[in-house]
Amino acid sequence: MQATEQLNPALGSLNGVTVIEIGTSVAAPFATQIMADLGATVIKVERFGTGDDSRNWAPPSWDGLSVTFLSLNRGKNSVVLDYKKPEGAEVLWDLVRSADVLVQNLRPGALAKAGFSAEALHAANPSLIYCEMTGFGGTGPMADRPAYDPLVQAYGGIVSVTGDDGGAPARVPVSVLDMGTGMWTALSVLEALRRRDVSGEGGHIELSLLQTALMWMSPQLQAVQAGNAKPQRLGSGFGGVVPYGAFPSSDEGFIFISAGNNATWGRLLAALEVSEEDAIRAFADNAERVGARHQVNDLLSAITGRFTVKDMEARLRAAGVPHSPVNDIPQVLADEQVQSLEQIVPMDHPGISDFSVVNLPMTFDGQYPLDRPTAPPELGADSRSVLENLGLDAHRIDELVSAGVIGEATTGSGSAPAPTEQTQQTEQKQEQRA
C-alpha cells in the first residue's frame, strides 16, 4: 500500500500508510504511536488473554486501566491473533502483504523462529519496511540476549554517571532508552519511506536500546576517547560548572541554579544578599569552585535555605541568574506555561470520562495540525474489522474465533475471551522483551 499522493495536513504525512506492530511494553508501542499520531493506520497484534504486557502494569491506573498502556497506544487497532497456529500464520501473512511497515520488539529471534524472518518478510512483500528492535543490536556476543531499559542504561554507561558521588549509581527514572529507540524507529521509517518513493523497495531496519544509549552518551564517550578522565557521578551537577544543581529552600522545596560564568556567580551572591565577609566569597573563579565542588555546594545550600522558593525565583529572575523551581508532577500539570502549550489535551475514551493525552512535542506554523487519534483500544476490539478489510467473510471469521486463532473484545472488560488450553501453552512459549 502506498501513501496517498494528495497530502491532507490535518491527517498527517503518514495517512495511507499501514503499520503492523507486533510489540509489547514501551519501545515498539511508542514508535507506532508516533506513527499513528502522524496519520498511519496501526494494527497492533496482541496475544490471547493478556495482550501487551503493559496492559497489566498497574498501579498507576486510570479507572482500572493501566496508565502505561494508555500513554503508549492511542490511535491503534487491536487484533488478538495466535500466529503460531497455521491458520493464524496465514492471517499474519495476509496482513504483511497489505502493509507498508512492520515494527516488532519481541525477544531476539522469536519472530523469525515463528517463520517470519527478515528474508521471508521481504519475499512476501518486497516493499515492506521491517523494523527490528532489540536490546543489544543484531551482531556481537550479546545479540541474542533480551533486555530491559534499566539494564541497558547500566550496560551503556548511563547509570555510571547518575546518582550522587559516594552513593549508589542510579538509573534515569524514565524509559529513556525504550522511548528513545521508539523515536529513532519512527524517524527511520520516515527515511525508509522516502527511499522507497525512489526505489520502490522496502528494507530491514535494525535498532537497539544499546545503540540509543551510545547516542545519548556521545559527549562522554568522545571525552574519554580524547584522553579525559572518566566522568564522575555528580548528581544533577555538571563537570565544568559550579554551582549547577538543585539547592534547598526554607519551605522544603528546591530550586535549580546554574551559574555558568563568574559574572553570573557575582549576580547570584548579590541577589541572595551574601555579605563580603561570607566564606563563599573566597571562591570567585569557576575553576576554584569546581575544585571545591562539595564545599561550595554546602555553603550555597546554607544560604539558599534562608529563602522560600518563590522569593528566590523573584530575586534570581531580577538578577538574570538561570534558575528553575524543581516542580513535582502535580505542579507541572498546573503550571501556566505548560498549560499555554496546549500539549496535554482531552480525548474521548469509552471508559474514562476525564481522559487526556500528551501530544507529540511539535507544531507546524504555530499549530498542532493533526487530527486527534482514537483512544487506546480494548484488547481485540478491532480483530473482526481488520479481518473484514483483508477480505474474510463473517463465516470465516467466526470459524477462526471458534478455533482460538482470533480473539475478540469483551466490551468493557479490557480483555479478550479466555484462551483455550492450547492457546495458553502457546502464550507461555512466547518470550517477549520489555
415 within 8 A of 48, measured Cβ to Cβ: no
At 35, phi and psi to the nearest 5?
-65, -40
Say which residues have a Cβ less than 8 Å from residue 211's Cβ, sequence separation at least 6.
137, 181
Kindly tell me the number of DSSP H helices and DSSP E strands found in the chain. 18, 14
- Measured between alpha carbons, how far is 428 from 4 in angstroms, rounded to an integer? 41
Angle, helices 262-271 vs 309-319, to 10°: value is: 130
Contact 360, 345 (CB under 8 A): no
> 3-state class of 291 per DSSP?
helix
Contacts of residue 293, defined as CB under 8 A and 6 or more positions apart, other chains included, come to 234, 237, 242
Task: Provide the 10 A C-beta neighbour count for residue 15.
Answer: 19
At residue 111's C-alpha, the angle toward residues 88 and 404, to 5°, is: 25
Residue appearing with cell numbers 493506520: 41
The C-alpha R_g of the chain, in whole angstroms, comes to 26
Residue 383, CA distances (Å) to 138, 213, 378 in order: 32, 36, 11
CA distances from 329 to 68, 324, 334, 353 (A): 16, 14, 9, 21
User: Catalytic residue positions?
Assistant: 178
Contacts of 194 (CB under 8 A, 6+ apart): none
